[in-house]
Amino acid sequence: MIFRIILIVFFPFLVFSQNTFSIAVLKYNGGGDWYANPTALPNLIEFTNQNIGTNIKPVPEIVDVGSLEIYNYPFIHMTGHGNVIFDYNEAKNLREYLLAGGFLHVDDNYGMDEFFRREIKKVFPKKELKVISPNHKIFDQSYKFPNGLPKIHIHDSKPALALGIFENGRLLCLYTYESDLSDGWEDQEVHNDSFETRMKALKMGSNIIEYVFRGKD
């Protein structure tokens, strides 16, 4: 466990160096499409490497929620439209990874909200998802979002919300809800988004990466 902690503590410095590292998509059980938005994370990686100086490998890995391989990745991304199930060992593994310094970004792709909220309580039974205010540092990195999380696709009248799980003030898990953020990272022809919409999504995604890897609280 000491090795895992040290490894993740030094990632903020290494990701912006000449070394290359991978980030990963989280594979989970339950029937939900964990593999949704296949072009999203590669496009975000390309954007951050070009614009904020990260040195992330261009193709993200896939990691099972219950695998110890999760410790190889300082940042994991989770999305989908449907059911999510974590068994006891998977929830324990994810909890230990996050408490050791890892980071989970969950983007509700319209349809996973009730399932994710249920399963994250298995990971952190005594913690609640808290609304992240627009004055949080995650919205004030290289790109400025003074109004907080942008709404990329409009499916209903609900506002986009950023919610988080915290431990001693550190953001462990970011949940982007009612935004469709990762849809905006996909290839333009997938959703026919405007250039402005895609840039807004990619800049917000870049802020998440920068916040995690540079550790700006």
**Mean pLDDT of all residues in the chain?**
90
Q: If DSSP codes are grouped into helix, strand and coil, which group holds residue 128?
A: coil
State the pLDDT confidence band at 17, using cuts at 50, 70 and 90: low
More confident residue, 180 or 176: 176
Which tokens belong to 86? 């974590």
State which residues form the domain around 196: 2-214
Domain count, the chain: 1
Gap between the Cα atoms of 204 and 143, Å rounded: 7
pLDDT in tens, 71-82: 999 999 999 988
Q: What sections of the chain are H helices per DSSP? A: 2-9, 11-14, 40-51, 88-99, 113-123, 188-191, 195-214
pLDDT in tens, 97-107: 999 999 999 99
What CATH number corresponds to the domain at position 110?
A: 3.40.50.12140
pLDDT at 115: 96
In a 13 Å sphere around the CA of 165, the CA atoms on its Cβ side amount to 24
Look-up of token digits 């400025």: 144
